């Protein structure tokens, strides 16, 4: 029987893995590869802050799973995983409903020989009272588009109100990690673009953006030499940055911090912390940690079932030479880690089929640096390599390297020729379309 590989989750890592395996194994009939996702299209998650601000039109940059499957010799199944039976080697997919509540795709089971779970992560609100009810999150394209619609509604309402000379909009962003920082900069950029297009009753200086961080500095997961210039740039842009300010409660029109401050905001975004989806918690007896991540070995196999792999944000993968339970003991939840793990798993699953007795390779995280985009204003980061060591980048050059990360993702999915054509299409589109999505 043909080896059945089921990959649950079509994020950057899962989609890259399905594409690689389809080209290597599916094309030659050595394996049947199935990708499962609850959406029909894919968009690179690090771009969601641009979708929220309107800098990126998600309908133009999305990838269709059905088409990608056809071009790269794998199958696609629409659905959301809800259960796992390790004895029968099956997963259950919940029924998919249409916009009217009718069953579009019924509940069903999929059988596997090798199962790969790459469902990513969701934002962790840490149980903060009012956060779930009053904050927007940026975990999915739909959430990012919802934020953009609300932002645009404020501007259109003000534009139609002839009795008011100037209005304000107050945005509060909880979490000064990469998502929060980049969203703050993109919103400042969006304010200038919206004013330039004539929606100027809310002037750029009257979009009040507050970035709130519980820790002592912005970008706490990155070196301070990156965080400090980012902090300074944000303040130059007019963003209010509050550090050592843990949010204790969120209401309909404000956030309250543990030190007694109240921050008024009509738009509130929670971008602090991550956790794996709730359905993974102790699923089928697999080992999970306190944020629902599946605990895996260095081979990316789960600790209690060698036929089940997990990688990306939903997996707790140990870092060699670190003490379990300490800070930095696990591979960080970053896009470059998921990309590296997808490359390793493509080799491991091929080896598992062609030479079952061979030991699988172990994953070692390699940090190639970090880049933070501050919209069109700047970018800051560092690149790390064996020959160059750590090189600090700022400004235009850092911005070009940041853009290249997305192009590398596209090349993994489309190949060099199609990616070059997409780049040309984007270049032409800039001169024929608005710089900001206005609907």
Query: DSSP string spanning 80-134?
Result: EEEEEETTTTEEEEEPEE-TTS-EEE--EEEE-SEEEE----EE--TT-TTHHHH
pLDDT at 387: 45
Domain count within the chain: 3
Q: Is 439 a member of any domain?
A: no
**Same domain, yes or no: 392 and 342:** no
Least reliable range by pLDDT among 69-78, 193-202, 245-254, 262-271: 193-202
Are 340 and 385 part of one and the same domain? no
* Pairwise pLDDT comparison (204 vs 308), residue with the higher score: 308
Question: Same structural domain for residues 29 and 111?
Answer: yes
Evaluate whether 413 touches 68 at the Cβ level (below 8 Å): yes
Percent share of the chain, pLDDT over 70: 92
Mean pLDDT (the chain) is 89
User: Phi, psi at residue 23, to the nearest 5°?
Assistant: -70, -35
DSSP letter at 319?
A: P
| Strand-strand pairing, 267-270 and 31-37 | unpaired
Same domain, 99 and 68: yes
Q: What pLDDT, on a 0 to 100 scale, did the predictor assign at position 385?
A: 55
In a domain, 329, yes or no: yes
Which residues make Cβ contacts (< 8 Å) with residue 427, sequence separation at least 6? none
> The CATH number of the domain where 266 resides is what?
3.50.50.60
Quick one: pLDDT at residue 374?
83
> What pLDDT digit, counting tens, does each position of 286-324 carry?
999 999 999 999 999 999 999 999 999 999 999 877 766
268 and 312 in a single domain? The answer is no
The single residue listed with the structure tokens 């070692």 is 364
Q: Which of 241, 272, 303 marks a domain boundary?
A: 272
Per-residue pLDDT at 277 exceeds 90: yes
Q: How many CB atoms lie within 10 A of CB 68?
A: 21
Domain range for 325 is 3-121+276-354
Q: Which of 104, 47, 137 is nearest to 375 (CA)?
A: 47
Residue 171 CA: distances (Å) to CA of 57, 96, 187, 222, 291: 21, 34, 9, 25, 28
47 versus 22: the higher-pLDDT residue is 22
> Would 138 be classed as within a structural domain?
yes
Within a domain: residue 363? no
Q: Does residue 198 share a domain with residue 267?
A: yes
Residue 215's pLDDT is what? 94
Angle CA 201–202–208, to nearest 5? 165
Average pLDDT over residues 74-89: 97
For residue 255, being part of any structural domain is answered with yes
Q: What is the pLDDT of residue 392?
A: 65
Q: Report the percent of the chain where pLDDT is more than 90.
A: 64
Q: Which one of 319, 354, 389 terminates a domain?
A: 354
Lowest mean pLDDT among 68-72, 131-135, 387-391: 387-391
* 255-265 tens-digit pLDDT: 999 999 999 99
- In a shared domain, residues 294 and 341: yes
| 219 lies in the same domain as 239 | yes
Mean pLDDT, range 33-51, rounded to an integer:
93
- 25 within some domain: yes
364 lies in a domain?
Answer: no
**pLDDT tens readout for residues 375-416:** 766 677 776 654 445 666 666 667 777 778 888 888 889 888
Summarize the confidence of residues 171-182 as an average pLDDT: 95
Same domain membership, residue 169 and residue 155: yes
For residue 60, being part of any structural domain is answered with yes
- Rounded to two decimals, the pTM is 0.91
Q: Which of 301, 330, 354 is the last residue of a domain?
A: 354
One domain, residues 300 and 174:
no
Q: Are 268 and 135 found together in one domain?
A: yes
54 with 167, same domain: the answer is no
């Amino acid at each position: 029987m043909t080896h059945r590989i089921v990959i649950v989750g079509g994020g950057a890592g899962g989609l890259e893995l399905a594409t690689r395996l389809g080209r290597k194994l599916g094309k030659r009939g050595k394996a049947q590869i199935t990708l499962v996702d609850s959406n029909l299209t894919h968009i690179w998650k690090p771009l969601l802050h641009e979708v929220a601000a309107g800098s990126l039109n998600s309908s133009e940059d999305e990838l269709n799973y059905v088409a990608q499957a056809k071009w790269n010799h794998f199958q696609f199944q629409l659905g959301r995983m809800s259960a796992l039976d390790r004895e029968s080697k099956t997963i259950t997919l919940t029924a998919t409903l249409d916009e009217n509540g009718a069953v579009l795709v019924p509940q069903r089971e999929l059988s596997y020989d090798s199962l790969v779970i790459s469902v990513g992560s969701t934002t962790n609100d840490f149980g903060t009272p009012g956060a779930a009810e009053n904050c927007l999150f940026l975990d999915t394209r739909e959430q990012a588009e919802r934020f953009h619609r609300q932002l645009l509604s404020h501007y259109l309402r003000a534009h139609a109100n002839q009795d008011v000379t100037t209005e304000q909009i107050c945005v509060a962003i909880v979490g000064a990690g990469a998502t929060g920082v980049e969203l703050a900069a993109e919103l400042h950029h969006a304010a200038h673009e919206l004013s330039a297009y004539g929606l100027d009753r809310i002037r750029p200086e009257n979009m009040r953006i507050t970035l709130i961080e519980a820790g002592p500095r912005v970008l706490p997961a990155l070196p301070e030499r990156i965080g400090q210039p980012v902090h300074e740039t944000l303040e130059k842009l007019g963003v209010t940055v509050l550090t050592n300010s843990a949010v204790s409660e969120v209401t309909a029109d404000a956030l309250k911090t543990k030190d007694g401050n109240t921050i008024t905001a009509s738009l509130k975004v929670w971008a602090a912390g991550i956790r794996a989806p709730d359905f993974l918690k102790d699923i089928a007896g697999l080992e999970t940690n306190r944020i629902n991540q599946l605990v895996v070995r260095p081979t990316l196999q789960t600790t209690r079932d060698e036929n089940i792999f997990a990688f990306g944000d939903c997996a707790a993968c140990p870092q060699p030479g670190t003490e379990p339970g300490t800070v930095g003991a696990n591979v960080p939840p970053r896009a470059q880690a998921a990309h590296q793990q997808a490359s390793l798993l493509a080799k491991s699953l091929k080896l598992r089929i062609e030479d079952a007795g061979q030991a699988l390779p172990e994953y070692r995280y390699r940090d190639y640096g970090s880049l933070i985009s501050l919209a069109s204003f700047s970018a800051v980061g560092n690149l790390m390599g064996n020959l160059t060591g750590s090189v600090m980048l700022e400004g235009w050059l850092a911005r070009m390297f940041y853009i290249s990360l997305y192009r590398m993702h596209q090349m993994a999915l489309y190949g060099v020729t199609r990616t070059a054509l997409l780049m040309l299409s984007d270049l032409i589109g800039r001169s024929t379309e608005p710089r900001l999505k206005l609907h």
